[in-house]
Amino acid sequence: DVTFMVGEPSRAIRAHRQILGMRSEYFRKLLFGQMKEALEESILIPYSYSAFYVALRSLYSFGRESFRDAPSESELGEVLELAVLHENQMLRCQCI
């Protein structure tokens, strides 16, 4: 019930507010708190599509799934940044 517009050119990733809010304090505050994004159906994300997709896969799967292929060094850096932002310890450990 939320769409993230990610990357350049912008691509859509659909997700569930409830699932993300339960699995990440960052998303709980973003999607249910006092931030303007809590009222929006579409949210702009300033990360690459591939890195954000990896971060969401990890949250949805409780860390069991993340990278499909070996990431590039730049993608790995972005994913690590997202893991820290989303407080996703399992993904953070996979990046290090």
Distances (CA, A) of 69 to 6, 24, 51, 94: 19, 24, 12, 13
Q: What is the pLDDT of residues 59-68, one digit of tens each?
A: 999 888 777 7
**What is the spatial distance between Cα 84 and Cα 51, in angstroms, rounded to a whole number?**
13
Q: What is the pLDDT of residues 17-72, one digit of tens each?
A: 999 999 999 999 999 999 999 999 999 999 999 999 999 999 999 888 777 777 78
